[in-house]
Amino acid sequence: MTESSALHAGLHIALPELARTFRDPWWIVGSAAMALIGVPEIAPQDIDVLCSRDDALRLQAAWAVHADGDYRPQDDARFRSTFARFTHLPMPLEVMGDLDVMTPEGWRPLRVLEDAAVDIGGHAVRVPTPAEQQRIFLLFGRPKDLAKAARVAAFMEDRHVA
């Protein structure tokens, strides 16, 4: 199964549960969001879901048997959230409730300021706009995120030229 088909298959399975469980605004972020807006040659390894702390706790309760309790995210000193990773889908799903990012100014909550809806099997999935994805990757500041920000910038430039 390709990353793209695993992403879509994972979302097809997850979205009905997310719709039932979540009560607050939420977004797909990271590489999965890049793929969903059409950035070429993106191979997401997981589905990152940004949501409220309460929604993250609700999903943890609903999918408790599917949680990977041994998994620890990389750079956990740079990020803090109500986090869980679920591995029962074709692509792992990571939920981050009330994600904060350590910046030179201290801890800052991650807020999606601009988003758009992407239709996935009849479900409207919210993703940050390309410019917002670039801003988020720059805020994260790790080398891999800076590379993603550059890819999003190139994607936006290509769209304006075409």
**pLDDT, tens only, 91-142:** 999 999 999 999 989 999 999 999 999 999 889 999 999 999 999 999 999 9
Q: What percent of the chain has pLDDT over 70?
A: 96
User: Rounded to the nearest 5°, which phi and psi values hold at 45?
Assistant: -100, -15
Select from 160, 159, 151 the least CA-distant residue to 30. 151
Tokens 């620890």, residue located: 72
Q: Say what the pLDDT of residue 26 is.
A: 98
Asked whether the whole model's pTM tops 0.75, one would answer yes
Other C-beta atoms closer than 10 Å to the C-beta of 159 total: 11
Q: What is the DSSP track for 120-160? A: ETTEEEEEE-HHHHHHHHHHH--HHHHHHHHHHHHHHHHHH
Closest CA to 11 of 64, 47, 51, 60: 47
- Alpha-carbon gap, residue 32 to 47, rounded angstroms: 6
The secondary structure of residue 162, as a DSSP letter, is -
Helix or strand holding residue 4 (H, E): helix 3-21
| Stretch (H or E) spanning 102 | strand 93-103
Rounded to whole angstroms, the Cα distance separating 143 from 99 reads 19
pLDDT > 90 in the chain, percent: 81
Q: Which residue has the higher pLDDT, 14 or 75?
A: 14
Q: Is the pLDDT of residue 151 over 70?
A: yes
For 17, the enclosing helix (H) or strand (E) is helix 3-21
> Mean pLDDT in the chain?
93
pLDDT beyond 90 at 72: no
On the question of pLDDT at 67 being above 80, the answer is yes
Tokens 């919210």 belong to 126
In this predicted structure, the answer to whether residue 161 has a pLDDT above a threshold of 60 is no
